[in-house]
Amino acid sequence: MSDRVPVERSVLVLGSAPEAGWVSAELAALGYRVEWAAEGEAAPGGAAAAGVAYREGRLVRLDGQVGAFRAWLAGNGGAATSLDAAAVVVASGNRRLMPWERYGLSPATPNVLSVPQVRALLGAQRPTGPALEHRNQAFLIALDLGGETPKETATEALELARDLRRAWRGEVYVFYQNLKVDTANLDALTRQMREEGVLFCRYENPSLQATDEGVSFTYVEGTVRGDLLIVPEDTAPGEDTQALAAALRVRVGEDGYLQEVNVRQHRPGHAERKGIYYAGRCHLDADLATLRADAARAVSDVDALLGQGYLEPEQVRAHVDSAVCVRCLTCVRTCPHAAVEIADYEEVTAARVLDLACRGCGACVANCPVQAIDLLGLDVPAWAQRVREEVAAS
């Protein structure tokens, strides 16, 4: 007898980060029915891709299980509407902030600008005349002041350093403590920067001064003076991350981001609740190329799950003996995968394991105080079976 359960190739994408649009478009191109939900009246970044239905609203509850989720969305009007999907991709992104206090600076500090401010200056229309204001100046870009700079904004600062060298022909210094060049894209970028004359300086205990006359950065190898100090933005979890995690019934890590680590397996981008996937900034600090690759990974994960049009439960999965269950809710509380519910079945009210949602981790089996739960499909050694029978008979 087959355990295959037919499912619709449908996906709910949550969030307004760029990754949400990338994932939605790629899934629609593969023939999936895609619902993209985010707060705002229009699809972020422009109209949604062909085959993508955009909905305004925030998730307030997610019922059901993989293959048969029901999402409840609340819009500005307050009334919640529902939609069904077989899988969910979360691409809610992060937020940006300027950590002036951590830097020991303020927006009013002379000759200090943020990376976005300088990027705007670089992209502005050039003034006419024989002299360009910023030509041949010295620019000091400081990473890791007061703490490690996120890879996302550090990459933006490095790209700005390269472009300053090219466009304004100035001396460009990049000061850093712990620059992680651990991807092919970042390695190629830093090699290119060095070839084009950008100088990298590693520091430990710097002394920084900024006055109306300029800026200076003193470290172990001496003092470097410049015309402008440039500092990057910081990143933080989105303001709605905690509420979103509660609605999804998934965990948040100690850093405040969505947590994809599972007690049984570590698969990047997989939530502990089967059928929910993370894409991009909501769970990952990375450069743009890696973020795009992570979005493509989420699409591949969804297609691997739903592409055949059916789902099958795990070979090893939990099962509740409804006649023994005392409805203490221990299994509901301890299941890390939201795979247990209290339901009316077999003429009783008892805990029930959702077969498709169960990962067979055994947490509910270990915690059940009345031993009402077993793992199906698990080969039990003879000695363990004897012990189990003796305990049950006592």
pLDDT per position as a tens digit, 265-283:
556 889 989 999 999 999 9
Give the pLDDT of residue 2.
Answer: 59
Q: What is the pLDDT of residues 74-132, one digit of tens each?
A: 987 667 899 999 999 999 999 999 999 999 999 999 999 999 999 999 888 665 554 45
3 state DSSP class of 10: strand
Give the pLDDT of residue 130.
Answer: 47
Alpha carbons 60 and 82: distance in angstroms, whole number: 10
Query: Tokens for 353?
Result: 């394991």
Ranges assigned E (strand) in 52-206: 52-56, 58-65, 68-74, 80-85, 87-90, 94-97, 112-114, 138-142, 171-176, 199-202
Q: What is the pLDDT of residues 292-328, one digit of tens each?
A: 999 999 999 999 999 999 999 988 999 999 999 999 9
> How sure is the predictor about 262, in pLDDT bands with cuts at 50, 70 and 90?
low
Q: What is the mean pLDDT of the chain?
A: 90
User: Is there a contact between 277 and 304 (Cβ–Cβ < 8 Å)?
Assistant: no
With vertex at residue 296, the alpha carbon angle to CA 270 and CA 249, rounded to the nearest 5 degrees, is 25
Burial readout 157-180 (b: 16 or more C-beta within 10 A, e: otherwise): bbbbbbebbeebebbbbbbbbebe
Give the pLDDT of residue 174.
Answer: 98
Give the pLDDT of residue 263.
Answer: 45
Give the pLDDT of residue 342.
Answer: 94
Residue 58 has pLDDT above 60, yes or no: yes
> How sure is the predictor about 1, in pLDDT bands with cuts at 50, 70 and 90?
very low
Alpha carbons 258 and 283: distance in angstroms, whole number: 5
Alpha-carbon distances of 105 from 125, 151, 211, 227, rounded to whole Å: 29, 21, 12, 16
Residue 350 has pLDDT above 60, yes or no: yes
Query: Tokens for 347?
Result: 């003429």
3 state DSSP class of 186: helix
| pLDDT average, residue stretch 365-374 | 94
> How sure is the predictor about 134, in pLDDT bands with cuts at 50, 70 and 90?
low
DSSP state letters, 224-235? EEESEEEE--EE
Give the pLDDT of residue 128.
Answer: 55
Residue 331 has pLDDT above 90, yes or no: yes
DSSP state letters, 246-264? HHHT--B-TTSSBP-B-SS
Residues in the chain: 394
Spell out the residues 6+ positions from residue 244 whose beta carbon is closer than 8 angstroms to its own. Answer: 14, 58, 59, 90, 92, 238, 258
| pLDDT average, residue stretch 251-260 | 85
Q: How many percent of the chain have pLDDT more than 90?
A: 73
Alpha carbons 28 and 9: distance in angstroms, whole number: 10
User: Is there a contact between 254 and 319 (Cβ–Cβ < 8 Å)?
Assistant: no
Give the pLDDT of residue 187.
Answer: 93
- Classify domain 317-393 by CATH architecture: 2-Layer Sandwich (3.30)
With vertex at residue 48, the alpha carbon angle to CA 44 and CA 54, rounded to the nearest 5 degrees, is 85
Residue 394 has pLDDT above 60, yes or no: yes
Give the pLDDT of residue 260.
Answer: 61
Place of tokens 């502990």: 272
Could you tell me where in the chain the CATH 3.50.50.60 domains are found? 5-93+238-311, 96-234
Could you tell me where in the chain the CATH 3.30.70.20 domains are found? 317-393
Say what angle helices 115-123 and 151-168 make with each other, to 10 degrees.
30
Question: Which of the listed CATH numbers 2.60.40.1180, 3.50.50.60, 1.10.260.40, 3.40.1280.10 matches domain 5-93+238-311?
Answer: 3.50.50.60
β-strand pairing of 207-211 with 214-219: antiparallel
3 state DSSP class of 34: strand
**Nearest CA among 13, 21, 111 for reference residue 291:** 21
Q: What is the pLDDT of residues 165-196, one digit of tens each?
A: 999 888 999 999 998 888 889 999 999 999 99
Alpha carbons 279 and 294: distance in angstroms, whole number: 6
- Classify domain 96-234 by CATH architecture: 3-Layer(bba) Sandwich (3.50)
Q: How many percent of the chain have pLDDT more than 70?
A: 91
